[in-house]
Structure 1
Amino acid sequence: MPIDELVEPAAGSSNRSERAEAYAKEIAVELRRVARKARVPKPVTSGGGGFQARRSDKLFRALVLGSFTLIFAIPSLLVAIYLFVFAADQYISESRFTVRTGQQSGLEALASLSSLIGGGQSKDGLIIAQYVESRAMLDALSREYDLRKIFSPGTGDYFAELHSDASIEDLLEYWEDQVAISVDRNSGLVTMKVRTFSPEESLAISRSIIANAEVMVNKLTRRNEDDALALAESEVENTRQKLEEQTVSLRDARNAAGILDVESMAKAYTDVVSALRLELSQTEQEIISLTQSVDAGAPQVVTLKNRALALKQKIEQYEQSIAGRNMAGMPFRDKSSTEASLADRAVVLSQRELDLSVAQSEYATALASYERARLTSLRQQSYLIPYVEPRLAEQSLYPKRGVIISVVFVLSFLAWASFVGSAVLVRDHMA
C-alpha cells in the first residue's frame, strides 16, 4: 500500500511520519555504506573485489600465503639457523709483502731497472699469486702440516669444512677458496688472506706460505745463476787445458833450441864476442908491431896471424849463432851449418812465450769469472719483504652472518614478490 495512503490526517499522524523519516534515513545510510564497500577493491590476498570470495579466490589466497612461506620465510629461517647454530667461526690472517732483489752490480742494477719499467715486480707478484694457489704450494705445506685435519676440525659445519674423503683435487679446489691473494699491477705489492678454523693455524700457514714463496722465487733466479756457474766452470776448464798445452809447447821449443832464456843466452854470446874482438884487436896490434922489426914470414908473425885467423873464425861462428849475419849485415858465406841462429830460435821462443802469456791471462780471467759466479750462486738473490706482518686474529671475521642474512632476506623477498606479481598477471589475464 502506498505510504501516502497510510499517512493519517495531520492532526493524528505526526509520530508516524517521524518514524518513517528516520527509517528512510537508515535505509539511505546503509545503501551508501554498501556502495562504498563495493567501490573499494579488496587486497590481492583476498582474491580481488566482489561481495563474496569465490573458490578460485580462496585458492589464490592460499597460493600467495604458501609461496610466501616457501620462498621467503623458510629459506630465511633455515639460513639463520645454519649461521647462528651450525656455522663454524673462521679466522683470517692477513699479510702484505713485496719482492726485492739482493746486492747487484751496475749492469745488474740497470737490468733490474729495465725490468721494473717493463713491470718486473708486478710479474713476480703474479707468479707468486699463481704459485700460492697451485698444487705445488699444497705439496710444500703438506710436508709441514696435515691440511686435511686443519680444514676438517670436526665442528659439524658440513658446508664450510672439507670432507674427510676429499681427493687432492677437492683439496686444491677448497684451498683456492680458503686463500685469497691479489697483486697491485702498478707497484707489484701482494696482499694475501688465509682463512682457517683456528687463529693459530691461520697465522702459521701464512708464515709458511711466505717462506715457501721466497724459496720458489730464488729457485727461479738460481737456475740462471747455475747456468752461469756451469758456463764459467767450463770456460775455466778450457783455458786450463789451453794453458797446459802452451806450457808444454814452450818447454819443447826450449829443448829444441837448447836454451832456457833467450835474453840471457844473447847477453852471454855478446859478452863472448866482445871479449874475442878485444883479443883479436890486441893480436892484430901485436902483428903490426912485430912486422916492423922482423920479417913477415917469421914464425912469431905466422903464429900471431894464425891466432888472429882463429879468433876471426870464432867471432864469425858466434855472430852466425846470434843472428846469422856478420857485422856488415851480410849473410855468412859458410852455409855448412844447419843449426838455427839464436835470433831464429828467439823468434820461436818469443812466440811460444807470447802464447803462454795469453793463455795465462785467459785462465786468470776465466778463474775470476768463475769465482764471481760461485759467490753469486751462494748469495740469496730475492727476498719477500712483508710490510704488513701476519698477525694472530682475535675475533672471527667469517662467516659474515649479518651480511649473509641480509642478502638472503632481500633476494628471497624479491623472488617471492616476483612470483606473486607473475601470478597476479596470469590470474588477471585468465580472468
Structure 2
Amino acid sequence: MKPALDETDLRRSSTLDNVKRWIWQRRVFGLFVAFPTIVLAAYLFLIASDQYESEAHFIVKSANTTTVPGTGISQALSMVTGSTSSSGDATSVADYLTSHDAVSALRAKLGLVERFHRPEIDYLSRLRKDDPTPEQLLKYYRKQVAVHYDGDTGITTVKVHAFTPTDSYAIVRRLLELGEQRVNFLNHRSYNDAIETSRKQLADAEAALANAQGRLTSYRQTRRDIDPEVSGRAQIGLVSTLTGQLSGARAQLSAMGSMIDHNSPQYRALASHVSALEAQLAAQSGRLTGGSNTIAAGIGGYEDLQIRQQFLAKRYEAAAASLDKAQDQALRQQLYLVRVVDANMPVKALFPERWKILATVTIALLLAYSIGWLIVAGVREHAA
C-alpha cells in the first residue's frame, strides 16, 4: 500500500502545478519580454561600466563681428556671445573635431586607444582591439564624443563620455586645444590668400622701380653726367653769358672802328677777342643742340627715364598702400575661439542611464508583444 499524502503535501503539489501551468501559459511573454528584460537589467546593473561626461562650450568669432539675425532668446544670446556671420568657419571647426585628423592627433598625443581599452571596462562598452584601424577607432570615437553646432546662438557644444573622470576631462581639454589650432590654421591660410595678390603686385612694382633706377644710373654713367637737367641749365646760362659778352664786344668794336684805324693794335686785339667769343659761342651752342650726343638729346633721354621712374614710384606707393589695406582687412577678419564654458571635471557617473534604458526597452518589448498578440488573436478569431 502507498502511504497517504497529507494535506500539506497536497496543497504544495497543487500550488507547484499551478505555477508551472501559469508559466507555461505565458511562455511566449516570458521568452520575448521577461527574459530579455531580466538579461538587460543584469547587464546594466551588474556588468556595465560607469561612464563620466565632461562638457565644454565655445564660439568662433572674428574682430569684425556681426550679430546673427534672430528674435527672442537667440538674438539676446548672439548679442552677448558675439556670434558672427562666419558660421561656415564654426561649422568647419566642429566637423574637424569629429574627423580622422582629430582622432589621429588624440591617438598620438593623448593615448586615445589606451583610454578606451582599459581592462576594467566591460567588454560591450570598451574598444575591442588594442590596435584598431583608423576607421574602427573613428567609429568608436564618434559614439563617445558628440560635437554640436547651434546655428542660432553660434555656440558649439562638445561632450565626451569616458570611463574615468580624468579621461573625459583630458579629452575635452585636448579637443579645445585642437579647435584653437584649427582656427589658427584657418587664419593663416585666409590671411595669406587675402594678401597674396597685393604682395605680388608690390613685388612686381618694386622690381620694375629697381629696373628703372638701374637704367637711370646706367644712363648717367654712360653720359658721364650726374644730372643732365642741371648740366643743361648751366650750359644754357653759359651760352647766354657768351652771347651777352659777344654783343658787348661787337658794339665796342663797331664804336672803335669809327674812331681809329682798323690796322691799329687796339682794334685788331678787340677784333681777335670778338672772333674768340664767336668761336666759343658756336662751340657751346653746338653742345646744346648740335647733334645726337648733345645736351639736348641727353636731357630728352634723361627726362624719359625720369618720368618712367616717377610713374613706377607712384605705382610702388599704390601697391604698398594696397598691401597695407589688405593686411588690415585680413586682420579684422581673423577668427578667435572663445571658451564660453570650459571643460568640467565630472564627479558622478551619469551614464549609462540604466533605469531609462531599462524602462524604454521594457515598454518597447511590451508594445511589440501586444501588437503580436493582437495579430495572432485576430488570425485565430478569423480562422474560427
Q: TM-score range by the shorter chain?
A: 0.7 to 0.9
Distance in 1, Cα, partners of 2:332 & 2:181: 13
Distance in 2, Cα, partners of 1:247 & 1:228: 30
Indicate which of 49, 69, 80 corresponds to 2:41. 80
Q: Secondary structure at the match of 2:86?
A: helix
CA 1:156/1:190 → structure 2, altered by over 3 Å: closer, same or farther? closer
> 2:348 aligned with 1:382, yes or no?
no
Indicate which of 128, 131, 140 corresponds to 2:105. 140
Q: Sequence identity of aligned pairs in percent?
A: 27
> 2:245 aligned with 1:279, yes or no?
yes
> 2:237 aligned with 1:268, yes or no?
no
Alignment of 1:152-163 (within 5 A): 152-163=117-128
Q: Is the 8 A contact 2:146 2:158 kept in 1?
A: yes
> 2:96 aligned with 1:96, yes or no?
no
CA 1:260/1:199 → structure 2, altered by over 3 Å: closer, same or farther? same
Alignment of 1:365-404 (within 5 A): 366=319, 381-404=334-357
What is the CA-CA distance between 1:235 and the residue it aligns to? 4.4
CA 1:290/1:72 → structure 2, altered by over 3 Å: closer, same or farther? same
> 2:373 aligned with 1:408, yes or no?
no
Distance in 1, Cα, partners of 2:121 & 2:170: 24
CA 1:71/1:352 → structure 2, altered by over 3 Å: closer, same or farther? same
Q: Secondary structure at the match of 1:283?
A: helix
Distance in 2, Cα, partners of 1:412 & 1:395: 30
Aligned match of 1:68? 29
What is the CA-CA distance between 1:150 and the residue it aligns to? 0.9
Indicate which of 148, 152, 157 corresponds to 1:182. 148
Deviations 1:42-85 (A, max 9, x none): xxxxxxxxxxxxxxxxx997654112221222122111111111
Q: Could you tell me which amino acid in structure 2 is paired with residue 218 of structure 1?
A: N
> 2:88 aligned with 1:123, yes or no?
yes
TM-score normalised by structure 2 residue count: 0.79
Indicate which of 298, 301, 309 corresponds to 1:348. 301
What is the CA-CA distance between 1:242 and the residue it aligns to? 2.5
What is the CA-CA distance between 1:422 and the residue it aligns to? 3.4
Q: Is the 8 A contact 1:93 1:392 kept in 2?
A: yes
Distance in 1, Cα, partners of 2:285 & 2:136: 96
Q: Could you tell me which amino acid in structure 2 is paired with residue 184 of structure 1?
A: D
Q: Is the 8 A contact 1:222 1:377 kept in 2?
A: no
C-alpha RMSD of the superposition: 3.5
Distance in 1, Cα, partners of 2:140 & 2:279: 104
CA 1:359/1:115 → structure 2, altered by over 3 Å: closer, same or farther? farther
Distance in 1, Cα, partners of 2:182 & 2:21: 66
Q: Is the 8 A contact 2:190 2:330 kept in 1?
A: no
Moved more, 175-184 or 375-384: 375-384
Distance in 2, Cα, partners of 1:293 & 1:124: 104
Deviations 1:168-191 (A, max 9, x none): 322111111111122222343211
Aligned match of 1:12? none
Moved more, 365-374 or 390-399: 365-374
Q: Could you tell me which amino acid in structure 2 is paired with residue 125 of structure 1?
A: A
CA 1:375/1:139 → structure 2, altered by over 3 Å: closer, same or farther? farther
Q: Is the 8 A contact 2:183 2:335 kept in 1?
A: yes
Distance in 1, Cα, partners of 2:25 & 2:371: 11
Distance in 1, Cα, partners of 2:23 & 2:48: 34
Q: Secondary structure at the match of 2:110?
A: coil
Q: Secondary structure at the match of 1:143?
A: helix
CA 1:256/1:218 → structure 2, altered by over 3 Å: closer, same or farther? same
Distance in 1, Cα, partners of 2:107 & 2:335: 24
Distance in 2, Cα, partners of 1:116 & 1:348: 63
Aligned match of 1:307? 273
What is the CA-CA distance between 1:162 and the residue it aligns to? 1.3
Deviations 1:112-158 (A, max 9, x none): 769999x8432223212221221111011112112122112223422
Stretches of structure 2 that go unaligned for 5 or more consecutive residues are: 1-19, 71-83
Distance in 2, Cα, partners of 1:396 & 1:92: 7
CA 1:158/1:274 → structure 2, altered by over 3 Å: closer, same or farther? same
Alignment of 1:294-333 (within 5 A): 294-322=260-288, 324=289
Indicate which of 212, 228, 246 corresponds to 2:212. 246
Moved more, 293-302 or 201-210: 293-302
Q: Secondary structure at the match of 1:294?
A: coil
Instruction: Give the total of aligned pairs.
Output: 352
Distance in 2, Cα, partners of 1:402 & 1:159: 18
Q: Could you tell me which amino acid in structure 2 is paired with residue 424 of structure 1?
A: A
CA 1:287/1:221 → structure 2, altered by over 3 Å: closer, same or farther? same
Deviations 1:360-380 (A, max 9, x none): 444455567668888999999
Q: Is the 8 A contact 1:121 1:188 kept in 2?
A: no
Aligned match of 1:22? none
